[in-house]
Amino acid sequence: MTQGSYPDDRRYHEAHDWAQLDGDVATFGVTWHAQHALGDIVYYAPPELGSTLRAGEPYGELESVKAVSDIIAPLGGEVLEVNEGIVGSPEQVNADPNGSWLVRVRVGDPAEFERLLDSTAYQALI
């Protein structure tokens, strides 16, 4: 199933998370595919500000009416900002997964970004 939109301005992790990079700050979110598989999202458990994320490891949870799912960090780094709007209204992720970012992170190794999947490779994966 490759419905939805997978913009070319970001890279994708196999665990259905996306990252946009601006200098050494990355914005993370989940893909259309992820939110569709979860169903109606009712809760977002974010990481602590200042915590260190490791690429490929869980950093928070999204809970839907169907399941609780770990959110996987596409890149490693320090959490600079949590989207409190999503904490208060997690259903926004279903409405606009490409515009509903979850955290902003100061990336430890910006070269990790190049190792993520581009839009074409991610769509081939799903």
What was the pLDDT predicted at 58? Answer: 98
Flag whether pLDDT at 88 surpasses 70.
yes
- pLDDT grade for 77, boundaries at 50, 70 and 90: very high
Q: CA angle, corner 100, sides to 102 and 82, nearest 5?
A: 25
What was the pLDDT predicted at 40? Answer: 97
- Among 73, 49, 74, 77, smallest CA distance to 61 is for 73
Taking residues 25-41, report their average pLDDT. Answer: 97
Taking residues 70-98, report their average pLDDT. Answer: 97
Taking residues 3-13, report their average pLDDT. Answer: 94
Q: Tokens at residue 117, please? A: 């999947």
Taking residues 110-120, report their average pLDDT. Answer: 95
What was the pLDDT predicted at 11? Answer: 98
Q: Which domains does the chain have, with CATH numbers?
A: 14-125 (2.40.50.100)
pTM attached to this predicted model: 0.95
What was the pLDDT predicted at 1? Answer: 39
Under 8 Å between Cβ of 12 and 6: yes
Under 8 Å between Cβ of 73 and 28: yes
Flag whether pLDDT at 2 surpasses 50.
no
What was the pLDDT predicted at 106? Answer: 98
